[in-house]
Structure formats: C-alpha cells, structure tokens
Amino acid sequence: MDIQSIKQRFGIIGNSPLLNRAIDIASQVAATDITVLVSGESGTGKEFFPKIIHQMSARKHGPYIAVNCGAIPEGTIDSELFGHEKGSFTGAHEARKGYFEVVDGGTIFLDEVAELPLGTQVRLLRVLESGEFMRVGSSKVLKTNVRVVGATNVNIPDAIANGKFRQDLYYRLNTVPILVPALRERKEDIYLLFRKFAADAAEKYRMPAIQLDDDAQQMIRNFRWPGNIRQLKNLTEQISIIEKTRIIDGVTLLKYMPQGQSNELPVLYKSEDSSKFNERELLYKVLFDMKKDMNDLKQLVMNLMQNDDDLSNNLDENTHLIKRLYKDLEEVKEPDQPIIVHHQGKRFEEQEPIQEPEEVEESLSLEKKEIDFIRRALTKHEGKRKDAANELGISERTLYRKIKEYNIE
C-alpha cells in the first residue's frame, strides 16, 4: 500500500516530506514485531501511527488497545497493565486481568510512556525482553505475545539524565523511532488542515464553511502553533461558530490568535555566563552606566557654557538641555547597598571605581543663567521685547513676566 492510500484510509491530511517519511517508516515496520517508539510534540497526531502499524501487520485481526499512561494513578498502574489477584490490595475483591493479558496476540499502544513510574518500567522491560509478567499479588509467571508501540512528547534522554526513565527500557522501546513533525515544520499543510476542519465544523453545526483571505492564510502559515494540530482544530471550530461572516480576513483572525505569542520570535539563548546575572545586579549595572553618562554630559555642558558664542546661537535649546540634564541627574541615586555584579569574570567591586568629574567652580544656578540669557537677548535686539522673546523661544508675555520677576533693567 502506497503512502497516499494510507493517508486516505486513516484520514491523514498533508503532503509534507517529514510527514510522508514518518508514514513510510510506520508502513515498513508494520510487517515485523519490532517495538516502535513514536515521538513528537503534543497535538501532532502521534495516535495515528500505532493504528497504521497494527492494521498493516499480521496482528490486524487481534485486539488493539490504547493506554494513556499519564492518566492512570501511580498506585493502580501496575494493576491496570498486568492485572491483580483477589485480596492483593484493599478493594481487590476479585482477580482481574491486565491489559497485557487481555491483548495477547494483538497490539498495545502505551501513550505518554515516559510518565510510567520507575517500578512499572522494570515490569515493562521484562515483558519486552521475555514476554513474561506477574499479576500484582501473585508469584505465578504468565506469558503474553503482545506488540508494544510507545509514544511520548518528552525528551527521554533528558528524562534519563534526570533519573526519571530507565536507559535500558529506552533502548528496548526505541528499536525503531518514528518522529512526527510539529505543525510549524509542515507549513504547506496548515491551510489544508484548516480547510478540512472548517468543512467538518460546517457539517457538524449545519452552516457554510468559513474561508480565509490571502492575509489570513499567510498569518496561519507563519504562526508557530505550540498546540499543533489540536490547537488549529479548536481555533477553526471557534471561528466557525462565533463569526457571522464566512470570509475571514487577517484583522478578524488576529482576534482569535493567542495573545503574547509572536509568529516567528527568535529563541533567547541562555549561555552559561548569563546564569550569573540576576535582575537586581543588572539594574545596578544600568544605574552605574547611567550615572557615568550623566557625569559625562554634565562636563560637556560646562565646557559649552564657557564659550559665549556657542550659547548665544541658540539660548532656548541650551536652557532646556540644562533643565533636562539636572532632572535626569536628580532621578539617578546611589544604591543603598554595595553592588556586586559579575561581568567578564570579574566582580564590579573589584574593577576600577568610576571616577567622578572634577568640580567646576562656575555657578550652576539656573536662575542666574536664565537672567544672563534674557539680558543678552535684550541687548542683542536693542531692547525690543518681541524680537528677544522670539530668540529665547518664549512668548512676549512670559518674557515680560520674567523681566519683572528678576527685576531686569
């Protein structure tokens, strides 16, 4: 059976090379009894592949069961998988067969297999290696002929490193790995899936199917879809029910896209050195840099004030510059606690202290400078207040008030 026929049989939508590769591996391994591990993010459709393997194998007439390992409480998981004897624990009023005993001759799909407790992993390893198991509360060894297909969205090598998954079980499960691609890796399939879900929703709720204009199609292709196919299906049904118009544009679609998630945001790389920083240390560093910049600006303005020609060219601009400078300096205060920031292998307290600029003896009074500017402007324009006000960048009324306030002759 070719790949296209498999897609039609199992209702798989898409033409992505990565998807076709995963289906091809599943069809080839189906004829064997090799253990398979299907991996991929949540919502990518991993549950289709155990069905493909079972239906295309010699076990297709045998039983098939899917078990969500993450949904069964840890205290009962052994009983569910391997069965128990009467009286083996509180509430065990009669003997019960487990899934491995019931599915003898068929296929068992262990979804979220990485969620199994370590004790259960030991039992599962024995089944995979020898086909033997014991019911809970029994010492009798039972045999089963079951094909196991596991699936997980967890990075199992990381789980092994953290002591949450047995390495020997991983190698036994991962005889043939099948990687199901994420939806963002299948951009060419996103609109095909949207149309399928829109048609299903239209049939289910007896309404015309929604369509996307060009802008909206581009938006769904560029979105990262962290919830993958499941998220796309939910969004399509939501729009189908709520929106009255059947042609969805980009503005309308944007209302339904998750807020705070960009289309193609780069991932921040966390280096080893960056872990040495914390928010408080970074804040202190910014304050230090700001204080140094303000001191440099202060020295620069003092140098400019010593040159009368430069100041007389634009009195108003320099006045506002001085006011803004001193306002910024007032906002930058020394931290109450000593600052220790690791930067390039050194601590800030070990580096050379920031040198304060030498004090300039010239008066820094804004009032005196403003009086001096007004007098120069009046002198320049021979006492004509209107022209002087224009030079200073203020109204004639404001100039008259300041002349009276400062008693300027």
pLDDT at 362: 46
Q: Could you tell me which residues come within 8 angstroms of residue 180 by beta carbon, excluding any fewer than 6 positions away?
A: 19, 22, 38, 39, 40, 41, 44, 45, 46, 49
CATH number, domain 3-181, options 3.40.50.10330, 3.40.50.2300, 3.40.605.10, 3.40.50.300: 3.40.50.300
Please report, for residues 70, 296, 380, 381, 387, the alpha-carbon distance to residue 375 in angstroms, rounded to integers and kept in the order given. 83, 29, 8, 10, 13
Within 13 Å, how many C-alpha atoms sit on residue 80's CB side?
17
Query: Which range among 16-30, 68-82, 277-291, 310-324 shows the weakest confidence by mean pLDDT?
Result: 310-324
SS (H, E, C) 153-188: CCCHHHHHHCCCCCHHHHHHHCCEEEECCCHHHCHH
| Confidence at residue 281, expressed as pLDDT on a 0 to 100 scale | 58
Q: How confident is the model at residue 277 (pLDDT cuts 50, 70, 90)?
A: very low
Across 7-11, 296-300, 341-345, least confident range: 341-345
Instruction: Say what the pLDDT of residue 142 is.
Output: 95
Candidate from 124-128, 180-184, 308-312, 373-377 with smallest mean pLDDT:
308-312
Question: d(Cα 326, Cα 318) in Å, to the nearest integer?
Answer: 12
Average pLDDT over residues 171-195: 95
pLDDT of residue 28: 95
Q: In the numeric block, which tokens belong to residue 97?
A: 């067969």
- Cβ atoms of 374 and 315 within 8 Å: the answer is no
Question: If you count them, how many residues does the chain have?
Answer: 409
CA end-to-end span of the chain, whole Å? 104
Q: Do 155 and 115 contact (CB within 8 A), yes or no?
A: no
Segments making up each domain of the chain, as ranges: 3-181, 185-256, 279-406
Confidence grade of residue 218 (pLDDT, cut at 50, 70, 90): very high
CA distances from 210 to 124, 241, 253, 343, 389 (A): 47, 10, 11, 55, 65
**Helical pair 17-29 and 48-55, crossing angle rounded to 10 deg:** 40
**Rounded Cα distance, 335 and 341, in Å:** 13
What is the pLDDT confidence band of residue 404, given thresholds at 50, 70 and 90? confident
**What confidence category does residue 340 fall into, taking pLDDT thresholds of 50, 70 and 90?**
very low
pLDDT at 351 over 50: no
Among 125, 116, 137, 18, which Cα is nearest to 68's?
Answer: 116
The matching CATH number, chosen from 1.10.8.60, 3.30.420.60, 3.40.47.10, 3.90.550.10, for 185-256 is 1.10.8.60
pLDDT of residue 270: 42
Q: Which of 71, 72, 70, 91 is nearest to 82 (CA)?
A: 72
The string of pLDDT tens digits covering residues 129-160 is: 999 999 999 999 999 999 999 999 999 999 99
pLDDT per position as a tens digit, 41-64 = 999 999 999 999 999 999 999 999
Strands lying side by side in the sheet with 107-111: 64-68, 107-111, 147-152, 36-39, 176-179
**DSSP labels, 7-34:** HHHHT-----HHHHHHHHHHHHHTTS--
For residue 37, is pLDDT > 60? yes
Q: What is the pLDDT at residue 87?
A: 83
| pLDDT at site 322 | 56
**Degrees, nearest 5: CA angle 121-126-132:** 130
3-state helix, strand, coil in the chain (%, to 5): 55, 10, 35
